[in-house]
Amino acid sequence: MSQRSSPMIVSAFKIIGASLLAVALIWALVLGWWQGNDHTPSTTELFLYLGALPLAIVGGYALLRGFIEHLKAPAVSQTSAPSDSVDPLANGATQTAEIERGYTINLVGAFAISGSGDGPSDMLAAQAAGVRPTPDDSLLDDAGFPIFTARIDALDMEGIGESLAQHDASLNEDIGRSEHLRMLALVDSILPAGLAQAQEALTQCPAISRLNLVWLIPPGLDPTLFPRLQSWLESHYLAAFEPAQRALSLRAASNESDVMAHIDRMVLDAAGTSNDELTIVLAAASSIGSRTAAAWSGRQGLFSADRQSGQIPGECGVCLLFGHPDSADTPVQLTRVSAAEREKSVDAGGRISGALIEQLIAGLLAVHRIAPADIKAVVSDADHRQSRVGELLDALGETFTELDPLADCPCIGAACGATPPFGALLALACAHEHALSLAQPVLCISQQHPTARSAVLLRPMPLVAGGMPPAV
C-alpha cells in the first residue's frame, strides 16, 4: 500500500467511526425515551426513529461540512490564461476589427460660428475669458422675463429670406419656424469659408479631383423640404464647381449619437481609399426661437433663475473639411469615434460618475499608443450644468493630473449655450484649433446628451499611406 493512500484510509475510518458513534447515541436517546415513558413503538416508529432519523442527521452533517469546506477553498479563476502559442489576433475577424479601430482621417480645415465667437479661436478665447450667455429681451418666458440665450446678432436674416425667395417663392413660408430660418442663415455665414478652401485645394492640388458635401439637418425640419433645400444650396453656393467635381447629399441627424456615428462611418469608409476626394461636413442648428423655448420650458429643461440645471438656447454653424493632407499646411489626424451610452441619465440625480467617459478615453489612447501625459488639452461640448462638468472632471480624475481643469479643459457649451445636436461638432472644430496651436494631441468629448457619450482624438501630423496612423 502506497504512502499516499494511507491518509485517505485513516480519514475514511474517522468518518465511519464518527457516523457509527452518532447513530449509537441517537439510538440510545430514543430507546431511553421509550423506556422511560413505557412506550411500545410501532413498526413505523422503529423505522422512522431508528433508521431515517440517524441517516438524516448524519447526512445533514456531511452536507454542511462539505459546504463549509467549499467556502474555505480558494477561488478558482473562471478563465484560464491563454497559451503562449495562441495568438489572440490569429482570427481574421479579430484582426480586421483591431486594424479598423486604428483608422484615421485628415481634418484639414475647421470653420465654426456661435454666440461666443466667429471662429474656433474666438470661441476658445471667450470660454477662457468667462464669457457667458445673457438675457435676451426679444425672447420671453411664461412669466414675461427675458430668456438667457447665446444669440448671434450678426445673422443676415433679411438676406437669407431674399435668397430663398429668389430660388423658390414659397420655400421661406414653407420652412416657417424662425429656428430653421436662422439655421439657413448660419449656413450662409459658415459655408463660403469651407468652400473657398476646398476650391483652392482643387485648383492647386492635382491629386484632388472631387468634392463631396454632406449637409447634416437637425430634427424638426420637414424631410419633404430636403430636395428643395438641396436645390437652393447647389444654385447659391456650388455654382463655381463643375457638376462632375461635386456631390451634395442631405442627411437627417436626430441626436448627438447620429452625428458622431456619421463621423465614425466617414473615417471607416475613407480608410484604404485614394486621397483624391475632399469631404465637407456641414451642420447648423439654432435653438433660439419661441417654439424651442416653449418645448424646453414644458419639460422643465429651460434655464432660469429658479432652474439652474436647465439648458440655455444657443446656435452654431460648423463646416469641417476632410481629405488630402496637401490641402492644408498642417493637417490634423482625427481618429474613429469611441462611443457608448450611459446606463442612467446624467440628469437623473445621485452621484455623477465619469467612468464611461474614462473608459472611452482609455480605449482611444490604448489603440493609438498615446500616454495620458501626452494629452495637452481636453475639449468638451459640456455647458454650464454641474452634472456635465462634474462628469468630465470625474472622468479625467487622477489620470490627467497635469491638466488645468480651467485652462486645459474648456467646456465650449458654457459660452455658446446648447446647440443640439451639433455641439460635438462645434467642440471638434475647437479641438482642431487647439491641436494646431499646441502642436500636441487633444481629446474631444461629447456629453451634452443625457446618455450618449463619445470621444475622439486629434493630433497634428499627416497620415501615412493607406490611411493608417504611424507608430508612436
pLDDT at 400 over 90: yes
Separation of alpha carbons 318 and 51, rounded Å: 86
Cα–Cα distance, 358 to 47 (Å, whole number) = 67
Residue with cell 451634452: 448
Domain boundaries of the chain, sorted by first residue: 98-459
Indicate the class that CATH gives domain 98-459: alpha beta
Per-residue pLDDT tens for 24-74?
A: 887 788 788 777 777 777 777 777 777 777 777 777 777 777 777 766 665
Give the separation between CA 64 and CA 52, rounded to whole angstroms: 18
Q: Where are the alpha helices (DSSP H) in 238-287?
A: 256-270
C-beta neighbour count of 394 within 10 angstroms: 15
* pTM listed for this prediction: 0.78
Nearest to residue 426, comparing CAs of 336, 290, 317, 337?
317
Q: Using one digit for the tens of pLDDT, what is the confidence trace for 189-226?
A: 999 999 999 999 888 887 788 899 999 999 999 999 99
Cα–Cα distance for residue pair 424/380, rounded to 1 Å: 8
List the single range of 40-49, 157-166, 446-455 with lowest mean pLDDT. 40-49
Which has more confidence, 439 or 177?
439
Q: All 3 cell numbers of residue 455?
A: 470621444
- The residues, any chain, with a CB within 8 Å of residue 420's CB and separated by 6 or more, are 218, 255, 256, 285, 287, 448, 449
